[in-house]
Protein backbone atom coordinates (compact mmCIF):
# COMPACT_ATOMS: atom_id res chain seq x y z
CA UNK A 1 0.00 0.00 0.00
CA UNK A 2 1.35 3.39 -1.02
CA UNK A 3 0.87 6.73 0.68
CA UNK A 4 -0.95 9.73 -0.68
CA UNK A 5 0.87 13.02 -0.92
CA UNK A 6 -0.60 16.49 -1.19
CA UNK A 7 1.01 19.43 -2.94
CA UNK A 8 1.00 22.08 -0.22
CA UNK A 9 3.98 22.45 2.08
CA UNK A 10 6.85 24.57 3.35
CA UNK A 11 10.37 23.62 4.41
CA UNK A 12 13.61 25.31 5.43
CA UNK A 13 17.12 23.86 5.64
CA UNK A 14 20.30 25.59 6.80
CA UNK A 15 23.95 24.62 6.53
CA UNK A 16 27.50 25.88 6.46
CA UNK A 17 30.84 25.04 4.90
CA UNK A 18 34.11 26.71 5.81
CA UNK A 19 33.28 30.44 6.18
CA UNK A 20 30.06 30.23 4.17
CA UNK A 21 26.58 29.63 5.57
CA UNK A 22 23.27 29.30 3.76
CA UNK A 23 19.56 28.81 4.12
CA UNK A 24 17.25 27.02 1.67
CA UNK A 25 13.52 27.71 1.59
CA UNK A 26 10.80 26.05 -0.47
CA UNK A 27 7.09 26.74 -0.71
CA UNK A 28 4.79 24.38 -2.59
CA UNK A 29 1.16 24.79 -3.65
CA UNK A 30 -1.23 22.97 -6.00
CA UNK A 31 -0.35 22.76 -9.69
CA UNK A 32 -1.40 20.75 -12.74
CA UNK A 33 2.23 19.73 -13.30
CA UNK A 34 5.62 20.39 -11.72
CA UNK A 35 6.53 24.07 -12.03
CA UNK A 36 9.74 25.14 -10.28
CA UNK A 37 10.70 28.77 -9.77
CA UNK A 38 14.26 28.94 -8.55
CA UNK A 39 16.13 31.89 -7.08
CA UNK A 40 19.89 31.43 -6.70
CA UNK A 41 22.86 33.78 -6.22
CA UNK A 42 24.19 34.73 -9.66
CA UNK A 43 27.51 32.93 -9.15
CA UNK A 44 25.68 29.66 -8.40
CA UNK A 45 23.57 29.57 -11.57
CA UNK A 46 25.31 26.34 -12.61
CA UNK A 47 23.35 24.60 -9.82
CA UNK A 48 20.06 25.37 -11.57
CA UNK A 49 20.01 22.17 -13.64
CA UNK A 50 21.07 19.75 -10.86
CA UNK A 51 18.53 21.26 -8.44
CA UNK A 52 15.64 20.95 -10.90
CA UNK A 53 16.66 17.39 -11.70
CA UNK A 54 16.78 16.41 -8.02
CA UNK A 55 13.41 18.05 -7.31
CA UNK A 56 11.83 16.21 -10.26
CA UNK A 57 12.96 12.89 -8.73
CA UNK A 58 10.95 13.52 -5.57
CA UNK A 59 7.95 15.48 -6.87
CA UNK A 60 5.68 15.16 -9.90
CA UNK A 61 3.16 17.97 -9.35
CA UNK A 62 2.96 21.34 -7.68
CA UNK A 63 4.07 24.94 -8.09
CA UNK A 64 7.29 25.28 -6.11
CA UNK A 65 9.25 28.39 -5.18
CA UNK A 66 12.81 27.56 -4.12
CA UNK A 67 15.30 30.13 -2.87
CA UNK A 68 18.85 30.00 -1.57
CA UNK A 69 20.24 32.73 0.69
CA UNK A 70 24.05 32.58 0.92
CA UNK A 71 26.16 34.45 3.48
CA UNK A 72 29.91 34.56 3.11
CA UNK A 73 32.43 35.27 5.82
CA UNK A 74 35.17 37.89 5.35
CA UNK A 75 37.31 35.33 3.60
CA UNK A 76 34.58 34.76 1.04
CA UNK A 77 34.32 38.37 -0.19
CA UNK A 78 36.39 40.22 -2.75
CA UNK A 79 36.03 43.46 -4.66
CA UNK A 80 37.19 44.81 -8.01
CA UNK A 81 37.22 48.07 -9.93
CA UNK A 82 34.95 48.32 -12.95
CA UNK A 83 37.64 49.67 -15.26
CA UNK A 84 35.29 50.31 -18.17
CA UNK A 85 32.92 52.45 -16.06
CA UNK A 86 35.82 54.28 -14.40
CA UNK A 87 37.37 55.10 -17.78
CA UNK A 88 34.03 56.35 -19.10
CA UNK A 89 33.58 58.67 -16.10
CA UNK A 90 37.12 60.02 -16.41
CA UNK A 91 36.54 60.79 -20.09
CA UNK A 92 33.55 62.87 -19.05
CA UNK A 93 35.84 65.01 -16.90
CA UNK A 94 35.60 63.37 -13.48
CA UNK A 95 39.08 63.37 -11.92
CA UNK A 96 38.60 63.08 -8.14
CA UNK A 97 39.33 59.39 -7.47
CA UNK A 98 37.82 59.50 -3.98
CA UNK A 99 34.53 60.73 -5.43
CA UNK A 100 34.69 58.25 -8.29
CA UNK A 101 35.00 55.35 -5.84
CA UNK A 102 31.61 56.27 -4.36
CA UNK A 103 29.79 56.11 -7.71
CA UNK A 104 27.54 53.01 -7.77
CA UNK A 105 29.02 50.32 -9.97
CA UNK A 106 32.63 51.55 -9.93
CA UNK A 107 33.50 49.23 -7.04
CA UNK A 108 31.92 45.81 -7.51
CA UNK A 109 31.72 42.87 -5.17
CA UNK A 110 33.18 39.80 -6.82
CA UNK A 111 30.67 36.97 -6.45
CA UNK A 112 33.29 34.86 -4.70
CA UNK A 113 37.01 34.37 -4.60
CA UNK A 114 36.93 30.62 -4.07
CA UNK A 115 39.28 28.33 -5.88
CA UNK A 116 37.80 25.88 -8.37
CA UNK A 117 38.19 22.99 -5.91
CA UNK A 118 36.61 24.99 -3.08
CA UNK A 119 33.69 25.93 -5.32
CA UNK A 120 33.12 22.28 -6.25
CA UNK A 121 33.21 21.32 -2.58
CA UNK A 122 30.68 24.05 -1.74
CA UNK A 123 28.38 22.94 -4.56
CA UNK A 124 28.39 19.37 -3.24
CA UNK A 125 27.46 20.56 0.24
CA UNK A 126 24.71 22.79 -1.11
CA UNK A 127 23.18 19.93 -3.11
CA UNK A 128 23.34 17.62 -0.08
CA UNK A 129 21.57 20.31 1.92
CA UNK A 130 18.98 20.64 -0.84
CA UNK A 131 18.31 16.90 -0.62
CA UNK A 132 17.51 17.39 3.08
CA UNK A 133 15.17 20.22 2.12
CA UNK A 134 13.31 17.91 -0.28
CA UNK A 135 12.97 15.28 2.46
CA UNK A 136 11.37 17.83 4.76
CA UNK A 137 9.01 19.03 2.04
CA UNK A 138 8.00 15.44 1.23
CA UNK A 139 7.12 14.95 4.88
CA UNK A 140 4.98 18.10 4.93
CA UNK A 141 3.18 17.12 1.73
CA UNK A 142 2.76 13.60 3.09
CA UNK A 143 0.93 15.00 6.11
CA UNK A 144 -1.56 16.64 3.76
CA UNK A 145 -1.94 13.34 1.89
CA UNK A 146 -2.82 11.54 5.13
CA UNK A 147 -5.62 14.04 5.71
CA UNK A 148 -6.90 13.73 2.13
CA UNK A 149 -7.12 9.92 2.03
CA UNK A 150 -10.12 9.39 4.37
CA UNK A 151 -11.99 12.26 2.70
CA UNK A 152 -11.56 10.71 -0.75
CA UNK A 153 -12.56 7.27 0.49
CA UNK A 154 -15.67 8.73 2.13
CA UNK A 155 -16.54 10.38 -1.20
CA UNK A 156 -16.20 7.04 -3.01
CA UNK A 157 -18.35 5.30 -0.40
CA UNK A 158 -21.06 7.94 -0.81
CA UNK A 159 -20.93 7.58 -4.58
CA UNK A 160 -21.40 3.82 -4.15
CA UNK A 161 -24.41 4.37 -1.90
CA UNK A 162 -26.05 6.66 -4.45
CA UNK A 163 -25.31 4.17 -7.24
CA UNK A 164 -27.09 1.41 -5.30
CA UNK A 165 -30.06 3.71 -4.69
CA UNK A 166 -30.17 4.48 -8.41
CA UNK A 167 -29.88 0.78 -9.22
CA UNK A 168 -32.87 -0.06 -7.01
CA UNK A 169 -34.92 2.69 -8.64
CA UNK A 170 -33.90 1.51 -12.12
CA UNK A 171 -34.98 -2.07 -11.29
CA UNK A 172 -38.59 -1.05 -10.73
CA UNK A 173 -38.60 1.58 -13.46
CA UNK A 174 -40.33 -0.52 -16.18
CA UNK A 175 -43.27 -1.27 -13.88
CA UNK A 176 -43.41 2.38 -12.80
CA UNK A 177 -43.39 3.56 -16.41
CA UNK A 178 -46.16 1.12 -17.33
CA UNK A 179 -48.27 2.25 -14.40
CA UNK A 180 -47.78 5.93 -15.28
CA UNK A 181 -48.49 5.27 -18.95
CA UNK A 182 -51.63 3.31 -18.10
CA UNK A 183 -52.88 6.15 -15.95
CA UNK A 184 -52.32 8.76 -18.64
CA UNK A 185 -53.88 6.72 -21.44
CA UNK A 186 -56.84 5.70 -19.30
CA UNK A 187 -57.51 9.34 -18.60
CA UNK A 188 -57.54 10.02 -22.34
CA UNK A 189 -59.09 6.87 -23.80
CA UNK A 190 -60.99 5.23 -20.98
CA UNK A 191 -60.59 1.57 -20.00
CA UNK A 192 -60.49 0.11 -23.52
CA UNK A 193 -56.71 -0.16 -23.71
CA UNK A 194 -55.08 -2.94 -25.76
CA UNK A 195 -52.69 -4.61 -23.30
CA UNK A 196 -50.24 -5.60 -26.03
CA UNK A 197 -49.93 -2.02 -27.25
CA UNK A 198 -49.54 -0.79 -23.71
CA UNK A 199 -46.71 -3.23 -22.99
CA UNK A 200 -44.98 -2.26 -26.23
CA UNK A 201 -45.07 1.45 -25.46
CA UNK A 202 -43.92 0.91 -21.87
CA UNK A 203 -41.06 -1.27 -23.11
CA UNK A 204 -39.89 1.44 -25.52
CA UNK A 205 -39.92 4.02 -22.75
CA UNK A 206 -38.03 1.66 -20.44
CA UNK A 207 -35.34 1.04 -23.07
CA UNK A 208 -34.80 4.76 -23.55
CA UNK A 209 -34.58 5.23 -19.78
CA UNK A 210 -32.32 2.20 -19.16
CA UNK A 211 -29.31 3.34 -17.09
CA UNK A 212 -27.88 -0.05 -16.11
CA UNK A 213 -24.75 0.35 -18.27
CA UNK A 214 -24.00 3.75 -16.76
CA UNK A 215 -24.47 2.36 -13.25
CA UNK A 216 -22.16 -0.57 -14.03
CA UNK A 217 -19.49 1.85 -15.23
CA UNK A 218 -19.88 3.96 -12.10
CA UNK A 219 -19.33 0.86 -9.97
CA UNK A 220 -16.19 0.05 -11.99
CA UNK A 221 -14.92 3.62 -11.53
CA UNK A 222 -15.40 3.30 -7.76
CA UNK A 223 -13.31 0.10 -7.74
CA UNK A 224 -10.62 1.89 -9.77
CA UNK A 225 -10.67 4.89 -7.41
CA UNK A 226 -10.07 2.67 -4.38
CA UNK A 227 -7.19 0.91 -6.15
CA UNK A 228 -5.55 4.22 -7.02
CA UNK A 229 -5.90 5.60 -3.50
CA UNK A 230 -4.42 2.36 -2.14
CA UNK A 231 -1.58 2.62 -4.65
CA UNK A 232 -0.52 6.06 -3.39
CA UNK A 233 0.94 9.10 -5.13
CA UNK A 234 1.56 10.16 -7.79
CA UNK A 235 -2.07 9.56 -8.80
CA UNK A 236 -3.55 13.07 -8.79
CA UNK A 237 -4.02 13.35 -12.55
CA UNK A 238 -5.63 9.90 -12.70
CA UNK A 239 -8.06 10.79 -9.92
CA UNK A 240 -9.01 14.00 -11.70
CA UNK A 241 -9.62 12.07 -14.92
CA UNK A 242 -11.74 9.57 -12.97
CA UNK A 243 -13.80 12.46 -11.59
CA UNK A 244 -14.54 13.50 -15.19
CA UNK A 245 -15.67 9.96 -16.01
CA UNK A 246 -17.86 9.84 -12.88
CA UNK A 247 -19.48 13.07 -14.02
CA UNK A 248 -19.95 11.89 -17.61
CA UNK A 249 -21.89 8.79 -16.56
CA UNK A 250 -23.98 10.73 -14.06
CA UNK A 251 -24.91 13.35 -16.66
CA UNK A 252 -26.13 10.54 -18.93
CA UNK A 253 -28.20 9.06 -16.10
CA UNK A 254 -29.83 12.44 -15.44
CA UNK A 255 -30.56 12.98 -19.14
CA UNK A 256 -32.14 9.52 -19.47
CA UNK A 257 -34.08 9.65 -16.23
CA UNK A 258 -37.84 9.34 -16.50
CA UNK A 259 -38.32 9.24 -12.74
CA UNK A 260 -38.10 12.16 -10.32
CA UNK A 261 -36.41 10.07 -7.61
CA UNK A 262 -33.76 8.84 -10.04
CA UNK A 263 -33.13 12.41 -11.17
CA UNK A 264 -32.73 13.53 -7.56
CA UNK A 265 -30.29 10.67 -6.95
CA UNK A 266 -28.34 11.73 -10.04
CA UNK A 267 -28.11 15.30 -8.75
CA UNK A 268 -26.90 14.02 -5.37
CA UNK A 269 -24.29 11.99 -7.21
CA UNK A 270 -23.08 15.08 -9.07
CA UNK A 271 -22.67 16.93 -5.77
CA UNK A 272 -20.49 14.18 -4.26
CA UNK A 273 -18.48 13.82 -7.47
CA UNK A 274 -17.70 17.55 -7.37
CA UNK A 275 -16.40 17.12 -3.81
CA UNK A 276 -14.26 14.20 -5.02
CA UNK A 277 -12.91 16.31 -7.90
CA UNK A 278 -12.00 19.19 -5.57
CA UNK A 279 -10.07 16.85 -3.25
CA UNK A 280 -8.37 15.06 -6.16
CA UNK A 281 -7.01 18.44 -7.28
CA UNK A 282 -4.99 18.53 -4.04
CA UNK A 283 -3.33 15.15 -4.61
CA UNK A 284 0.12 14.75 -6.12
**Domains in the chain, ordered, with CATH?**
9-73+116-142 (3.30.230), 78-107 (no CATH), 144-280 (1.20.140)
- pLDDT higher at 139 or 176: 139
Output the pLDDT for position 220.
96
How many angstroms separate the CA atoms of 238 and 109, rounded? 50
Output the pLDDT for position 277.
96
Angle at which helices 116-171 and 212-231 cross, to 10°: 150
Q: How confident is the model at residue 258 (pLDDT cuts 50, 70, 90)?
A: confident
Does residue 279 contact residue 155 with C-beta atoms inside 8 Å? yes
Output the pLDDT for position 127.
95
Output the pLDDT for position 156.
97
Residue 98, pLDDT above cutoff 90: no
- pLDDT higher at 194 or 231: 231
pTM: 0.72
User: What secondary structure does DSSP assign to the chain, as a single string?
Assistant: -----BS-EEEEEEEEETTEEEEEEEEEE--SSEEEEEE--GGGGGGHHHHHHHHHHH-SSEEEEEEEEEEE-GGG-EEEE-HHHHHHHHHTT---HHHHTTSTTTEEEES----HHHHHHHHHHHHHHHHHHHHHHHHHHHHHHHHHHHHHHHHHHHHHHHHHHHHHHHHTHHHHHHHHHHHHHHHHHTT---HHHHHHHHHHHHHHT--HHHHHHHHHHHHHHHHHHHH-SS-HHHHHHHHHHHHHHHHHHHHH--SHHHHHHHHHHHHHHHHHHHHHTTB-
Q: By mean pLDDT, which of 15-24, 70-79, 180-189 is the weakest?
A: 180-189
Give tens-digit pLDDT for 196-218: 655 555 555 555 657 888 899 99
Torsion angle of alpha carbons 160, 161, 163, 168, nearest 10°?
Answer: 140
Does residue 104 contact residue 93 with C-beta atoms inside 8 Å? no
Supply the mean pLDDT for the chain.
84
Over residues 259-275, mean pLDDT: 93
Over residues 175-198, mean pLDDT: 55
Residue 261, pLDDT above cutoff 60: yes
Q: φ and ψ at 113, to 5 degrees?
A: -120, 35
Q: How confident is the model at residue 102 (pLDDT cuts 50, 70, 90)?
A: confident
CA-based R_g, the chain, Å: 33
Residue 79, pLDDT above cutoff 60: no
Please enumerate in sequence order all residues whose Cβ is within 8 A of that of 37, keeping only pairs 6 or more positions apart, or say none. Answer: 63, 64, 65, 66
Please enumerate in sequence order all residues whose Cβ is within 8 A of that of 122, keeping only pairs 6 or more positions apart, or say none. Answer: 17, 18, 20, 114
- pLDDT higher at 18 or 140: 140
Amino acid sequence: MGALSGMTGFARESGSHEAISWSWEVRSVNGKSLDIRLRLPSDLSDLDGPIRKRAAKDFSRGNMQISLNLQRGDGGKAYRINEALLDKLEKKGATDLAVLMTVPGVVEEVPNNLSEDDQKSLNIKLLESFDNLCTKLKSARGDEGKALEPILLDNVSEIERHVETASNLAAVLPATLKENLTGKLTALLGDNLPEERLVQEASLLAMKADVREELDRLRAHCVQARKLIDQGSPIGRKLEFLAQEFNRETNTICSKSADIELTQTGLALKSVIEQFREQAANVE
